[in-house]
Chain A
Amino acid sequence: MKKLVSAGVAALLCCTAGVAQAEVKIGMITTLSGGGSTLGIDVRDGFELALKQAGASDVKLLVEDDARKPDVAKKLADKFIQKDKVDILTGIIWSNLAMAVVPAATRKGTLYISPNAGPSALAGKACHENYFNVAWQNDNLHEAMGSHANKADYKKTFILAPNYPAGTDALKGFKRMYKGELAGELFTKLGQDDYAAEIAQIRASGADSVFFFLPGGMGIAFMKQYAQSGVDVPVMGPAFSFSQDILPAIGDAALGVANSSQWGKDIESEVNAKFVKGFKEAYGRLPSLYASQGYDAANLILSAMEKADVSDKDDFRAALKEADFASVRGDFKFGNNNHPIQDIYVREVVKEDGQITNKIIGVAIKGHQDAYASKCRMK
Chain B
Amino acid sequence: MTAALIFEQVLNGLQFGLTLFLMAAGLTLVFGVMGLINLAHGSLYMVGAFCCAWITQQTGSFWLGLGGGVLGAAAAGALIEMLVIRRLYDRDHLDQVLATFALILIFSEGTRMVFGSMPLYLNIPAALGGTMALPGVEAYPVYRLFIILAALAVALLLYLLISKTRLGMRIRAGESDREMIAALGVDIKTLYTIVFALGAAIAGLSGALVGALRSVQVGMGEPVLILAFVVIVIGGIGSIKGALIGSILIGLVDTLGRIFLPVILKFFMENASANSIGAALSSMLIYLMMAGILAVKPKGLFNATN
B216 to chain A, nearest CB (A): 7
Q: Which of the residues B118, B143, B219, B280 comes within 8 Å of A245, measured between beta carbons? A: B118
B138 to chain A, nearest CB (A): 8
From A87-95, A188-196, A272-280, A302-310, give the one contacting chain B.
A188-196
Interface flags for B114-142 (1: CB within 8 Å of A; 0: not) read 00011111111000011100000001010
Asked if B222 and A196 sit within 8 Å, CB to CB, the answer is no
CA distance A200 to B122 in the complex (A): 23
Interface size (B, Cβ < 8 Å)?
48
Tell me, yes or no, whether B77 is within 8 Å of chain A by CB. no
CA distance A189 to B282 in the complex (A): 9
Q: Which chain B positions have C-beta within 8 A of A234?
A: none
B270 to chain A, nearest CB (A): 12
**With A220-B215, A230-B130 in contact, do A185 and B275 touch (Cβ < 8 Å)?**
yes
Interface flags for A15-44 (1: CB within 8 Å of B; 0: not) read 000000000000000000111011001000
**With A33-B108, A230-B130, A249-B119 in contact, do A217 and B214 touch (Cβ < 8 Å)?**
yes
Tell me, yes or no, whether B162 is within 8 Å of chain A by CB. no
**With A193-B223, A197-B255 in contact, do A221 and B213 touch (Cβ < 8 Å)?**
yes
Tell me, yes or no, whether A152 is within 8 Å of chain B by CB. no
B24 to chain A, nearest CB (A): 16
Tell me, yes or no, whether A122 is within 8 Å of chain B by CB. no
Tell me, yes or no, whether B65 is within 8 Å of chain A by CB. no
Asked if A197 and B9 sit within 8 Å, CB to CB, the answer is yes
Asked if B213 and A225 sit within 8 Å, CB to CB, the answer is yes
Asked if B220 and A35 sit within 8 Å, CB to CB, the answer is yes
**Residue of A at shortest CB range from B129?**
A228
A176-231 at interface with B (beta carbon < 8 Å): 185-189, 191, 193-194, 196-198, 200-201, 203-204, 217, 220-221, 224-225, 228-230
Interface flags for B217-242 (1: CB within 8 Å of A; 0: not) read 11110110000000000000000000
CA distance A285 to B117 in the complex (A): 11
Asked if B117 and A194 sit within 8 Å, CB to CB, the answer is no
CA distance A185 to B274 in the complex (A): 11
Q: Which chain A positions have C-beta within 8 A of B108?
A: 33-34
CA distance A204 to B129 in the complex (A): 21
B245 to chain A, nearest CB (A): 20
Asked if A221 and B215 sit within 8 Å, CB to CB, the answer is yes
CA distance A200 to B213 in the complex (A): 16
Tell me, yes or no, whether A55 is within 8 Å of chain B by CB. no
B4 to chain A, nearest CB (A): 8
CA distance A253 to B129 in the complex (A): 12
26 A-B residue pairs with Cβ-Cβ distance under 8 Å, sorted by A, are: A34-B218, A34-B219, A38-B118, A163-B283, A185-B275, A186-B262, A187-B276, A189-B283, A193-B223, A197-B13, A200-B8, A217-B215, A220-B214, A221-B214, A224-B124, A224-B214, A225-B141, A228-B143, A230-B131, A249-B118, A249-B121, A249-B216, A251-B121, A251-B123, A253-B123, A285-B118
Known: A33-B219, A245-B118. 14 other contacts (CB 8 A): A35-B220, A35-B223, A37-B219, A38-B119, A187-B262, A196-B144, A200-B9, A204-B5, A217-B220, A224-B123, A228-B131, A230-B139, A249-B217, A250-B121
Q: Which residues of A contact B (CB under 8 A)?
A: 33-35, 37-38, 41, 163, 168, 185-189, 191, 193-194, 196-198, 200-201, 203-204, 217, 220-221, 224-225, 228-230, 245-246, 248-251, 253, 285
